């Protein structure tokens, strides 16, 4: 049904469907993926014989690969991405005089923060490797954090999750750099890949690239996180009830600790691997619950950690506007930008209280250890 609604959306918004053949993509303006990476939303400028500078938006699972591959030297050609193209009516109105700054025309641009483009500067923005990583944890609010930080003039974030240090390491640094947005010298490049936190090979690889890398680790009550993870899985394929997945033996209270939804929440174990390699001073813990309740305050702590001027404040957020619970961003023009409605704020199932209790018991010693490691406590033990 999600496929149906996806296509319906395009039907509604556009009569024309086909990617122009042999078109050359001039510029990717904005690339966003849903958190589970199976969708991509790309705004790009293409050129072919007939339509100079058409702006397209694509949303297509297969195109993700194509888009990433072409991110730096874009060429789509007849990519086979049919039925997934939406022609945007017109080129955005602002800042089209100078094609160099075409990225800044999109308010959501992943390439350059629109309102902060140095229009008088002679400096040419270039792609740089990240100085900051959001390493996880999965389902803790990592997408929200990245979206929020991206409104900062000194921050530029890559939209999709590169998964460089885990599954794409063999592709090399040029591949990685090409996924990054173009930045000026005073902008920090950030990427987020929540899988990094739980892959034990990753810390060393990150250190080898940049021993000064700043690491943002978001955390959320591991029980709620597990349920959120379960909901994501359930949205993709049929699953058994949460209780059955989480427990090996419910009557005896044996938790299925091998299930990834459970395993990821054992924060002390994962953090241990990072602390074998990085000093704690290079890791900043972001409280996922606080990012929901008081986003400006939580982001202010991140700004401080990153050593960038304090910029993001309450006026950037509309609290509890997304699914009644989550904050959304207020854009410069006053419009509201919420995170992807399909993949965020899913309804969590009611989990049987005894299972919740077993899970709390399971996580308690891990939580306590994690609290000691980071020198603060969270309200997770129920």
Contacts to ligand PPS by CB under 6 A: 35-36, 138-144, 194, 228, 231, 291-292, 322, 326-327, 339, 344-346
Nearer to ligand PPS among residue 29 and residue 140 (C-beta):
140
- Residue 54 C-beta: closest distance to ligand PPS, Å: 31
Rounded Cα distance, 217 and 369, in Å: 16
Nearer to ligand PPS among residue 57 and residue 220 (C-beta):
220
- Residue 321 C-beta: closest distance to ligand PPS, Å: 9
Residue 107 has a CB neighbour count (10 Å cut-off) of 17
- Residue 292 C-beta: closest distance to ligand PPS, Å: 5
Nearer to ligand PPS among residue 108 and residue 346 (C-beta):
346
Helices (H), the chain: 2-13, 61-69, 142-149, 172-178, 202-209, 222-236, 242-246, 260-263, 267-275, 288-293, 295-306, 353-374
Residue nearest to ligand PPS (CB): 35
Nearer to ligand PPS among residue 106 and residue 142 (C-beta):
142
Rounded Cα distance, 202 and 278, in Å: 11
- Residue 375 C-beta: closest distance to ligand PPS, Å: 23
Rounded Cα distance, 375 and 379, in Å: 14
- Residue 150 C-beta: closest distance to ligand PPS, Å: 13
Distances in Å between the alpha carbon of 274 and those of 57, 134, 202, 217, 271? 38, 13, 8, 11, 5
Nearer to ligand PPS among residue 105 and residue 190 (C-beta):
190
Phi and psi at residue 275, to the nearest 5°:
-75, -15
Eight-class DSSP state of 17: -
């Amino acid at each position: 049904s999600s496929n149906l609604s996806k296509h319906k959306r395009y039907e509604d918004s556009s009569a024309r469907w086909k990617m122009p053949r042999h078109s050359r993509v001039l510029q990717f303006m904005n690339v966003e993926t849903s958190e589970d990476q199976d969708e991509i939303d790309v705004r790009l400028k293409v050129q072919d014989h007939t339509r100079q500078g058409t702006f397209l938006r694509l949303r297509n699972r297969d195109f993700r690969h194509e888009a990433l591959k072409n991110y730096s030297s874009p060429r789509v050609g007849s990519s086979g991405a049919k039925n997934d193209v939406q022609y945007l009516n017109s080129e955005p109105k602002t800042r089209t005089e100078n094609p160099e700054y075409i990225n800044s025309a999109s308010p959501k641009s992943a390439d350059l923060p629109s309102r902060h483009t140095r229009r008088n500067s002679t400096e040419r923005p270039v792609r740089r490797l990240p100085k900051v990583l959001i390493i996880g944890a999965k389902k803790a609010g990592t997408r929200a954090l990245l979206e929020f930080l991206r409104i900062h003039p000194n921050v530029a974030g890559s939209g999709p999750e590169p998964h460089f240090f885990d599954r794409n390491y063999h592709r090399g640094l040029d591949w990685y750099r090409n996924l990054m947005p173009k930045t000026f010298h005073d902008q920090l490049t950030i990427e987020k890949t929540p899988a990094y936190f739980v892959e034990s090979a990753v810390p060393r690889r990150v250190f080898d690239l940049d021993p000064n890398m700043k690491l943002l680790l978001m955390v959320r009550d591991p029980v709620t996180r597990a349920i959120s993870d379960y909901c994501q899985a359930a949205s993709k394929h049929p699953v058994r009830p949460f209780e059955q997945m989480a427990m090996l033996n419910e009557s005896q209270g044996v938790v299925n600790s091998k299930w990834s939804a459970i395993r990821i929440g054992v924060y002390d174990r994962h953090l241990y691997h990072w602390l074998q390699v990085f000093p704690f001073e290079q890791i900043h813990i972001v409280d996922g619950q606080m990012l929901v309740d008081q986003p400006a305050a939580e982001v202010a702590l991140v700004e401080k950690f990153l050593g960038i001027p304090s910029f993001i404040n309450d006026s950037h957020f509309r609290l509890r506007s997304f699914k009644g619970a989550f904050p959304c961003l207020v854009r410069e023009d006053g419009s509201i930008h919420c995170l992807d409605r399909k993949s965020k704020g899913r309804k969590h199932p009611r989990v049987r209280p005894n299972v919740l209790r077993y899970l709390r018991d399971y996580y308690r010693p891990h939580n306590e250890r994690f609290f000691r490691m980071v020198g603060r406590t969270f309200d997770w033990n129920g």
